[in-house]
């Protein structure tokens, strides 16, 4: 499995996570619990956990290329809801098998 993560600074993270999950719930399986959300795409799963300072995003899938493609999809959609402060900064980092960040 391949996982890529990002921490996005915003004071409105919970709002954006809920909006994004609601937006995608019409076509994809989504789960929302407070300021956390999960979206199951055909090729990967995206989890988002927000707090008062930002959103922690993780995308995990079997194919590294599919995971990497979803970084743009997720970022564009969050930026669409965050239009007043977009574009937000996404510092995507690959997570190695042992759980450490790496390239």
Residue 83: closest CA among 2, 16, 6, 14: 16
pLDDT in tens, 50-86: 999 999 999 999 999 999 999 999 999 999 999 999 8
Name which of 33, 29, 31 is nearest 42 in CA terms.
Answer: 29
Within its chain, how far is the Cα of 57 from the centroid? 4
Q: Is the pLDDT of residue 103 over 50?
A: no
What is d(CA 20, CA 17) in angstroms, rounded to the nearest whole number? 5
Q: What is the mean pLDDT of the chain?
A: 94
Domains contained in the chain, CATH given: 2-95 (3.30.310.50)
Residue 7 has pLDDT above 80, yes or no: yes
Q: What is the pTM of this model?
A: 0.91
**Tens digit of each residue's pLDDT (9 = 90 or more) over 8-51:** 999 999 999 999 999 999 999 999 999 999 999 999 999 999 99
Kindly tell me the burial class for residue 61, based on how many C-beta atoms sit within 10 Å of its own C-beta (0-12, 13-18, 19 or more).
buried
């Amino acid at each position: 499995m391949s996982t890529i993560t990002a921490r996005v600074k915003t004071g409105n993270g919970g709002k954006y996570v809920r909006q994004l999950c609601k937006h995608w719930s019409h076509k994809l399986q989504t789960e929302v619990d407070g300021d956390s959300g999960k979206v199951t795409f055909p090729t990967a799963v995206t989890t988002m956990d927000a707090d008062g300072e930002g959103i922690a995003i993780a995308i995990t899938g079997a194919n590294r290329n599919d995971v990497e493609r979803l970084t743009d999809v997720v970022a564009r959609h969050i930026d669409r809801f965050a239009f007043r402060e977009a574009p937000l900064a996404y510092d995507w980092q690959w997570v190695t098998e042992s759980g450490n960040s790496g390239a």
